């Protein structure tokens, strides 16, 4: 099963300079720092005039995307730096089942003024499968995590 239309996962390129590693910056109109609290199961929501570019900088969570009446679960963590791009009109939410907050950067691309219904929870057509979310996170983290 492929990802929902328009969603991309990009591995970041980096340049090593001494002991530091510098990752490719993301172009954006606005940059937000987002914290997903521990033990969070977030409702779906949609943006109408915004593309999200998400990068986890601390912790982990599962991005949930609704596509063709099925949920797609994408595990994201600070151990594997990737940028996930979510275009407008794609319903998505977040699951953080850990005991630690997850912090991510959202390099937002604007396609117009925010819509009043952006960020308002949508009614989920059916419950998330939390066992899938747990399993994906367990598989994506080292055994000591």
The band of 144, judged by pLDDT with boundaries at 50, 70 and 90, is very low
DSSP 45: B
Topology, domain 8-115+129-140: Jelly Rolls (2.60.120)
Domain boundaries along the sequence of the chain? 8-115+129-140
- Specify the length of the chain in residues: 145
pLDDT digits (tens, 9 = 90+) for 76-121: 999 888 999 999 999 999 999 999 999 999 999 998 888 888 878 8
Q: What's CA 101's distance to the chain center, in Å?
A: 14
pTM reported for the whole predicted model? 0.86
Q: What's CA 23's distance to the chain center, in Å?
A: 18
H/E element, 105: strand 102-110
Checking if the pLDDT of 145 tops 60, the result is: no
pLDDT digits (tens, 9 = 90+) for 29-72: 889 999 999 999 999 999 999 999 999 999 999 999 999 889 99
CB-based contact 62:104 (threshold 8 Å): no
């Amino acid at each position: 099963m492929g990802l929902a239309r328009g969603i991309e996962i990009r591995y970041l390129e980096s340049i090593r300079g001494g002991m530091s590693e510098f990752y490719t910056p993301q172009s954006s109109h606005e940059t937000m720092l987002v914290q997903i609290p521990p033990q969070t199961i977030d409702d779906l929501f949609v943006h109408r005039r915004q593309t999200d570019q998400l990068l986890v900088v601390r912790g982990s969570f599962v991005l949930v995307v609704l596509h063709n009446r099925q949920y797609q679960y994408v595990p994201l963590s600070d151990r594997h730096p990737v940028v996930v791009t979510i275009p407008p009109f794609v319903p998505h939410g977040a699951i953080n089942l850990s005991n630690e907050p997850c912090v991510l950067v959202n390099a937002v691309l604007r396609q117009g003024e925010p819509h009043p219904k952006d960020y308002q929870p949508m009614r989920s057509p059916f419950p998330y499968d939390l066992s899938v979310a747990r399993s994906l996170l367990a598989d994506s983290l080292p055994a000591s995590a």
